[in-house]
Structure 1
Amino acid sequence: MATIEVDDSTKRFVAFAARMAHVTEGEIVRRLVADSPLGSEEPTRATDGVPIYADYEGHRTRGLYFAPARVEITDGPLKGESFKTPTGAARAVVRHLNPSVNDNRNGWSFWQLDNGGPRVWLQSIRPTNTAD
């Protein structure tokens, strides 16, 4: 079974709607999606991730950033792993490459845009109201 993440307020509204309709929370979400203009479209995998990279301990790790905060690693030993936040991805890279140090990192300033030009931190495209 797949899961989705929502903020606490949305969770409360979905739970309330499910109680009122005497159905599961999943059924409420299914109905909302089915009733939306997107409900009739075939779902597709997001391919519009922003290419990013991080240089750490002499290694370059590449990934894709998906707004508002998800990072998917696209090469190296962590290839295929997905993280809810840039910080989670940064910490995983640090733990993998240098397990003897504290992995506490700010992912928004750890990752850089892979734009082929000057250094631009991921922070520069961070959406407002993104906790991390």
Structure 2
Amino acid sequence: MSNSIHDVDDATFTQVNLLARAWNVSPAEAVRKLIEHFQRPEAASQAPTANDRRVAVHALYDGVRIEGEYHPVTHALAINAGPAAGNYRTPSGAATAVLQALNPQVKPNRNGWSFWIVTETGRLLQSLRNPV
């Protein structure tokens, strides 16, 4: 049992650190993001529906613009033409394929949520992701 608001049990500490690593932020920022999410009343009402349509996305890498489509329900991403054309289960899988096609000398692992840009808004694909 914690004696202070600053103390958390080991299981909670582990979970907060896991989120922080996944989001590439500090543990304090991970907690802040969670709190902000649950303070927004619209967050709970924006669950994806089966009628969600694909969202146009693009990436700019090594001087090449790659066009794709993201599906909000399945989180799949399709690249319809050019390097790495194909269907991918995740944005990160699609990003990795682009790097392998355009620059095979670099380590191809990329976070697809920060690699792809929503064409309509110019914001990172992360802006469409449902927060935890």
TM band (smaller chain): 0.5 to 0.7
Equivalent residue pairs, number: 81
Counterparts in 2 of 1:28-107, with a 5 A limit? 48-68=53-73, 69-79=75-85, 81-107=86-112
Instruction: Return the offset for 1:77.
Output: 3.0
- RMSD, aligned α-carbons: 1.8
Q: What is the TM-score normalised by the length of structure 2? A: 0.57
Could you say what secondary structure the match of 2:99 adopts?
helix
Q: Which runs of 5+ in 2 are unaligned?
A: 1-50
User: After TM superposition, what 4+ stretches of structure 1 lie above 3 angstroms from structure 2?
Assistant: none
- Structure 2: distance between partners of 1:114 and 1:128: 21
- The C-alpha deviation readout for 1:67-93, integer Å capped at 9, x for no partner, is 2410000221333x1111000000000
Instruction: Return the offset for 1:122.
Output: 0.2
Identity of aligned residues (%): 41
**Of 107, 123, 128, which residue of structure 2 is paired with 1:125?**
128
Query: Which residue of structure 2 aligns with residue 3 of structure 1?
Result: none
Q: Which runs of 5+ in 1 are unaligned?
A: 1-45
Distance 1:76 1:47, change over 3 A: farther
Instruction: Return the offset for 1:128.
Output: 3.5
Could you say what secondary structure the match of 2:123 adopts?
coil
